[in-house]
Amino acid sequence: MTRSLTLTRPDDFHLHLRDGAMLAGVAPETARHFARAIIMPNLVPPVVTGAQADSYRQRIMAALPGAAFTPLMTLYLTEASDPADIVAAHRAGMIAAVKLYPAGATTNSDSGVRRFDAVRPTLEAMAEAGVPLCVHGEVTDPEIDIFDREAVFIDRVLDPIRRATPGLRVIMEHVTTADAVAYVQAAASDLAATITTHHLIINRNHILAGGIRPHYYCLPVAKREIHRRALVHAALSGDARFFLGTDSAPHADPAKESACGCAGCFTATNTMPILAELFEREGALDRLEPFVAHHGADFYGLPRNPGRLTLMRQAEPVRFPARIETGAGPVTVFDPGFAVHWRVSEPV
């Protein structure tokens, strides 16, 4: 039996493309299926100014000759960020959002924010000018258990920021807990959340039970099954405040398969087939399109994509490459751990 599902072309509202040889290797994987993506600025050094974002955008486009893909650039918020530069870059259409990393929370976040008071004037300027803030929501306090860092961040950092900066539109990125889902659900329409492909599929057992599996290690780290279920429920709920941000975060295999492995799952290649399988299994295929193609665009104030993407259901499981080869080394493709029967129908 072959069935097909045609959707508005999807967007990825949280993506790491890196730079140089890795960028060249991974960018086509996203551009093949997605029309746009919010591009994370955590390069080394980070993308801090409008001019740096523009030059990074040009490098991305150079890696995608002929592709119909629009990178939505972001700036990395530091305590030294210039509010006027941020607002000007947003007005000029050079950036779609600003990213807040607590210093030390994740890969390449050393330049992030330590004293949240130091960025208050910038956040106020952003609220005034309508620049959305994307947030990596984890505290970095070594006393706090890694599985609690998202929930504690909501109380200690996110809620105070939102109260102090009325009108600031915030995207809580890659939510991993029932606590975050409940916080978003209870908030007004100025708060939204992205959910990754992998957090909809794995819980912490996938990383730790029966051997340590570095390709499932990412930040925020996957939590208990009860939290995964809360994420699935939010994604299927039709609530417009939840949308896809894959957080596809490539690292070359030797950097993952190491005594101190990097955080990040690479899902760009097979996200759409995996999500179709998951939503189908949950009896909610009709909820896939709003989650991947409507809610995020609406929250960011972008037009929905005119293009379409067609997925075909195969009788037999579809095989995906275990890894892609890039000029920066091999990158393992996320394995959902279940058979996937969907493939994206490539235009002929």
Catalytic sites, residue numbers: 247
Query: How far is residue 218's CA from residue 234's CA, in Å, rounded to a whole number?
Result: 21
Q: Which of 108, 97, 307 is nearest to 192 (CA)?
A: 97
Edge to edge, what strands does the sheet with 342-344 contain?
3-8, 308-313, 342-344
* Interacting span for Zn ion (CB under 5 A) from 49-57, 137-145, 239-247, 272-280: 239-247
Interatomic CA distance for residues 86 and 125, integer angstroms: 9
* Residues 223-262, interacting with ligand NCD (CB under 6 A): 247, 249
Residue 302: DSSP 8-state:
P
Instruction: Give whichever of 136 and 206 is closer to ligand NCD, judged by the CB atom.
Output: 136
- Strand ranges of the sheet holding 36-39, from the earlier edge strand across to the other edge: 11-15, 36-39, 70-76, 97-100, 133-135, 170-172, 191-195, 242-244
107 binds ligand NCD (CB under 6 A): yes
Q: According to the binding rule CB under 6 A, does residue 200 interact with ligand NCD?
A: no
Q: Does residue 247 bind Zn ion (CB under 5 A)?
A: yes
Among the listed residues 27, 151, 218, 297, the single contact to ligand NCD using CB under 6 A: 218
Q: Please, are residues 134 and 169 in contact by the beta-carbon 8 Å criterion?
A: no
- How far is 13 from 245, CA to CA, in rounded Å? 4
Q: Does 207 bind ligand NCD (CB under 6 A)?
A: no
Minimum CB separation of residue 147 from ligand NCD in Å reads: 15
Q: Of these partners, ligand NCD, Zn ion, none, which one is at the site of residue 131 (CB under 5 to 8 Å by kind)?
A: none
CB of 215: closest distance to ligand NCD in angstroms? 11
Nearest to ligand NCD of 150, 289 (CB atom): 150
CB of 185 to Zn ion, least distance (A): 23
Please select the residue that binds ligand NCD; options are 57, 136, 198, 341, rule is CB under 6 A.
136
Residues in contact with 162: Cβ distance below 8 Å, sequence separation at least 6, in sequence order: 168, 170, 187, 190, 191
Measured between alpha carbons, how far is 47 from 17 in angstroms, rounded to an integer?
13
CA–CA separation, 56 and 151 (whole Å): 33
Binding letters toward ligand NCD, positions 157-196, x by CB under 6 A: ----------------------------------------
Query: Please, what is the minimum distance in Å from the beta carbon of residue 171 to ligand NCD?
Result: 13
12 touching Zn ion, by CB under 5 A: no
Q: How far is the CB of 173 from Zn ion (least distance, A)?
A: 7
3-state class (DSSP) for residue 327? coil
Under the rule (CB under 6 A), what is the footprint of ligand NCD? 16, 42, 106-107, 136, 218-219, 247, 249, 263-264
Residues that bind Zn ion in the complex, under the rule CB under 5 A: 247
